[in-house]
Amino acid sequence: MFVTNTEMVHGKTITACHGVVAGSTVRAKHAGRDIMAGLKNIFGGELKGYTELLGESRDQAITRMKAQAKQMGANAIVNVRFSTSSVAAGAAEIYVYGTAVTVE
Amino acid sequence: MENLINLGVFIILISCGYVFGKIAEKRHYKSIINRERKFLTLPAVSGKNPVGEVPPIRRAQLVQGSVVISVDYFKRMLAGLRNFFGGTVRSYETLLDRARREALLRLKESCPGARQIINLRIETSSISKGGKNRIGSVEILAYGTALYYDIGSPSA
């Protein structure tokens, strides 16, 4: 599966278009990470727990999007966009969407 | 008595933030500059097409790098003061600058062998907002398409 955020897959030609595919996930941080984050708010610096959490959820969203594209019979996704929004105080939604296409 | 204790806690928090924050920032900038030097041969462009003469492309792939970074107590207090007087909040500028460069570096580190990154997008979102810590921490996500050429090695 080729995934790009450009309008085409460089080095390949698009032969069919299958429409929009999307994957999303909502994750909440757990208490332990939150306490560490509270400490980090005093000292400053990277919140590794959150970086990991958001990275994992983004990977999951991409996996879901890929599964959907596969179901449509596509072998590539172009023009992928990410968006993050915090729905509740402790939870974030990661949304990934793109266009499923067939390339050769 | 209680006021005195509160003041003491406040001063301890401020000085912790100042000392550790300063050390961390200095160390971070040093490592960013060192790593940026390593990636001088891997350009990242925000355009949709690769720049310059390009040999046949073997593979194009989505790559990403992200970082969640938090501001320290001292800087938050400075920013609070700035909110009162107005003007440039330099303490937050350096924070965001560091985070963006770090995210871009992580993106580049995630794709060894790539020769160019095209269509680079950088997104900022503030997480853990609301409540008493207003800006608290921000997430920076950098994503783009890595191009691998048919010939040559990345270090050439």
* Pairing between β-strand A2-3 and β-strand A76-86 as defined by DSSP bridges: parallel
Domains of chain A, residue spans? 2-103
Region B136-155: what's the mean pLDDT? 79
B60 alpha-carbon distance from chain centroid: 25
Region B48-68: what's the mean pLDDT? 88
For residues B52 and A71, which has the higher predicted lDDT (pLDDT)? Answer: A71
How far is residue B78's CA from residue A6's CA, in Å, rounded to a whole number?
41
| pLDDT of B85 above 90 | no
| pLDDT of B130 above 50 | no
pTM: 0.84
Region B68-87: what's the mean pLDDT? 80
| pLDDT of B43 above 60 | yes
As for the ipTM of the complex, it is 0.84
Tens digit of each residue's pLDDT (9 = 90 or more) over A5-23: 999 898 889 999 999 999 9
Strand partners, B66: B141
Q: Could you tell me the pLDDT band of residue A99, with boundaries at 50, 70 and 90?
A: very high
Chain A: residue nearest B118 by CA? A6
| pLDDT of A63 above 50 | yes
Region B63-76: what's the mean pLDDT? 85
Neighboring chain A residues of B16 at a CB cutoff of 8 Å: 42-43
Neighboring chain A residues of B143 at a CB cutoff of 8 Å: 5, 80, 82
Residues ≥6 apart with Cβ < 8 Å to A55? B66
3-class DSSP state of A73: coil
- B2-149 is a CATH 3.40.50.2300 domain: no
Output the CA torsion A61→A62→A67→A68 (10° steps): 80
Q: Which of B21, B67, B130 sits opposite A44 (nearest CB)?
A: B21
Alpha carbon separation from B87 to A61, A68, B81, B90, B91 (Å, rounded) = 40, 48, 10, 9, 12
- Answer whether A15 touches B (CB < 8 Å): no
> Cβ contact (<8 Å) for A44 and B25?
yes
| pLDDT of B133 above 60 | no
> Cβ contact (<8 Å) for A6 and B143?
no
Q: What is the mean pLDDT of chain B?
A: 84
A2-103: CATH architecture: 2-Layer Sandwich (3.30)
Tens digit of each residue's pLDDT (9 = 90 or more) over B107-126: 999 998 899 999 999 998 87
Chain A: residue nearest B74 by CA? A42
Domains of chain B, residue spans? 2-149
Looking at residue B107, its pLDDT comes to: 94
